[in-house]
Structure 1
Amino acid sequence: MPNLLLAGSPGVGKTTAVLALARECLGGDAALLREAVLELNASDDRGIETVRSAIKAFAQKKLTLPAGRHKLVLLDEADSMTEAAQQALRRTMEVYSSTTRFALACNLSGRIIEPIQSRCAVVRFARLTDAQVLARVRRVAAAEGLTMDEEGAAAVVFTADGDMRVALNGLQATVNGFGAVTKAGVLKVCDVPHPGMAAEILAAAVARDVDAATGVLMRLVRGGYAPVDIVQVLFRVTKAADLAEDVKLDVLRAIGLTHARVAGGVASPAQLCGLVARMCRIGL
């Protein structure tokens, strides 16, 4: 097994994949796995001292392993490590390459220094598809005996946006709060602007009805939703809408521009109203 750099969106099981690979390589002996695998969260243990002490000491440890097998160091959130710690880690990877393999899980591979990237096989994880999240949510609900209707399952998938961790947390919180998984319960627990209202804004923009679109928008604003959440839900609703491709791209471009401005601190209702006006002006 080579050194691995696992990059991708959060909530897609990068660490779980590495642990499963370690179990396959080292066998099912729990005691051996405890001895031969060192798992650290680099967002907590991210300094150079961790590399010099914990990781180096583990790499130096003598173990009897099956032929062709190596000890494994798993660093989660590796993109949080300081550059000095990464430089020290690079040297450790070189010196102990005959006995130890390293697996670094991160969200942004660009924050990992080039010398480490060149020593690893890079594996990129895409966000989970809605179908994959839905299948897993249904499986969990069936195993736990939860009451969940189709609209509730769809709402869990919508709020997760490809992040399985968010999906399972939303599922559990909804059950704890309401006893059953329904669309209204999921949206309330996750505090997400209702996608139906975002669809109303888009439909009014298609009809060039600025007043109607603005009216729905202001209902969301008065409901206390953050402008960035409104823009994100509007983006996802538009992406799934049945529109001409060129028109959809123009609308998404306008939403993206507004998202950049909102993320930059200009998060006033006037900014959102400007977005609605631009959507109505696009050749719809």
Structure 2
Amino acid sequence: MWVEKYRPQKISELINQKEIVGSINSMLKNQSELPHLLFSGSAGVGKTSAALCVSREILGKHWRDYTLELNASDERGINMVRERVKKFSRFAGLDTEIPFKIIILDEADEMTADAQTALRRITEDTAKICRFILIANNLSKIIKPIQSRCVVFKFTKISDKEILSQLKSIGKKEKIKADEKGLSAICDYTDGDLRHAINILQAAASSGNVTESVVKSVVGLTKTNDVQDVLKLALDGKISDARDKMIELIKVYGMSESDFLKYINQAVFNSKANNLEGMLETIAKYDYRILVGANPEIQLSALLAELTKFGK
């Protein structure tokens, strides 16, 4: 995978995070006093890469042996903290070259409150032999006692200019043909997520030249204008026709439910309807329902049904 092949190996290689790079480098000058770290920010901006770079910088050639990397969203409960983290943190046998072990908890914001409370105590008890690096998309879901025990770094979204530069660099190394419009389409779609951008580039490159039409086909954007038609049908009260077209976009053309919501949200803005506030609030409500696990097809059908009220 290109996303792993071109993952930064050193802190200095992180993209668009100059202040964070500078702060971490300053901390690494006195490794024995390194605090626990908490990296927050949206997806694909370099949080996990930064954690792995810190581990390599401190542990050198031993980094794989003395680093425990867990995805907290897979194991959200207190048992994960008690069994895996506690066991690793207490396991004896530190090499004389190693100042401490490192535990990386990815997606820590998905941990239950009980698990986070248990983790708080472990971070204190094992401070002599362990350092924790917590990674979270949503900082507000991390309990305050853990936040206060860590140095918090807030990663910013990567600019389109930086993403474009990285895609061009990778394209050159992989010897693929990519035009400016194709790469710009990737930037527009990924919205600051470099990891997603590299994955799309690789998928588009496997189809031949990376052009705008190929990129749109790969990410299911070839029918985005049809979302405006779905909105118009719903506002005209033609709920069955609107639903059929919505199902076709998702099932036949591969548009994701989240993309459908994103584009119908944009279509509402473009429509300049009088009751804009109510329509946007309705879309937000169904976006939340899908996010918490409700059936997407049922929820999107209900969304279209509710939008018909705004057309009357």
For normalisation by structure 2, the TM-score amounts to 0.67
Q: 1:171 aligns with which of 201, 205, 219?
A: 201
Aligned to 2:101: 71
Structure 1: gaps (5+ residues): 202-209, 212-216, 242-246, 278-284
Percent identity between the aligned chains? 36
Separation in structure 2 between the aligned mates of residue 261 and residue 106 of structure 1, nearest angstrom: 24
What letter is aligned with 1:189? V
Aligned to 1:205: none
Q: 8 Å contact 1:12–1:163 — kept in the other structure?
A: yes
Separation in structure 1 between the aligned mates of residue 222 and residue 170 of structure 2, nearest angstrom: 25
Shift of 1:21: 1.5
Separation in structure 2 between the aligned mates of residue 253 and residue 64 of structure 1, nearest angstrom: 61
What letter is aligned with 1:175? A
Q: 8 Å contact 2:268–2:280 — kept in the other structure?
A: no
Cα deviation code 1:197-251 (max 9, x no counterpart): 49x99xxxxxxxx99xxxxx99x85962567534524767999x9xxxxx9xx99
Aligned to 2:39: 6
Shift of 1:58: 1.9
Q: 2:139 aligns with which of 99, 109, 117?
A: 109
Separation in structure 2 between the aligned mates of residue 151 and residue 131 of structure 1, nearest angstrom: 13
Q: 1:92 aligns with which of 105, 113, 122?
A: 122
Aligned to 2:50: 17
Distance 1:228 1:62, change over 3 A: closer
Distance 1:135 1:261, change over 3 A: same
Distance 1:3 1:19, change over 3 A: same
Instruction: Map 1:1-284 to 2 at 5 A.
Output: 1-26=34-59, 29-30=60-61, 32-60=62-90, 61-66=92-97, 69-176=99-206, 178-192=207-221, 197=225, 224=249, 229-233=259-263, 256-257=280-281, 259-263=283-287, 264=289, 265=299, 267=301, 268-269=303-304
Separation in structure 1 between the aligned mates of residue 125 and residue 307 of structure 2, nearest angstrom: 56
Shift of 1:33: 0.9
Q: 8 Å contact 2:94–2:100 — kept in the other structure?
A: no
Q: 8 Å contact 1:228–1:259 — kept in the other structure?
A: no
Q: 8 Å contact 2:265–2:283 — kept in the other structure?
A: no
Q: Give aligned pairs, total.
A: 251
Separation in structure 2 between the aligned mates of residue 135 and residue 151 of structure 1, nearest angstrom: 14
Question: Partner of 1:257: helix, strand, or coil?
Answer: helix
Separation in structure 2 between the aligned mates of residue 257 and residue 9 of structure 1, nearest angstrom: 23
Shift of 1:14: 0.6
For normalisation by structure 1, the TM-score amounts to 0.73
Separation in structure 2 between the aligned mates of residue 139 and residue 254 of structure 1, nearest angstrom: 45
Q: 8 Å contact 1:130–1:162 — kept in the other structure?
A: yes
Shift of 1:192: 2.2
Distance 1:79 1:170, change over 3 A: same
Separation in structure 1 between the aligned mates of residue 309 and residue 112 of structure 2, nearest angstrom: 41
Distance 1:194 1:255, change over 3 A: farther
Aligned to 2:17: none
Distance 1:62 1:188, change over 3 A: same
Distance 1:235 1:65, change over 3 A: farther
Separation in structure 2 between the aligned mates of residue 223 and residue 151 of structure 1, nearest angstrom: 27
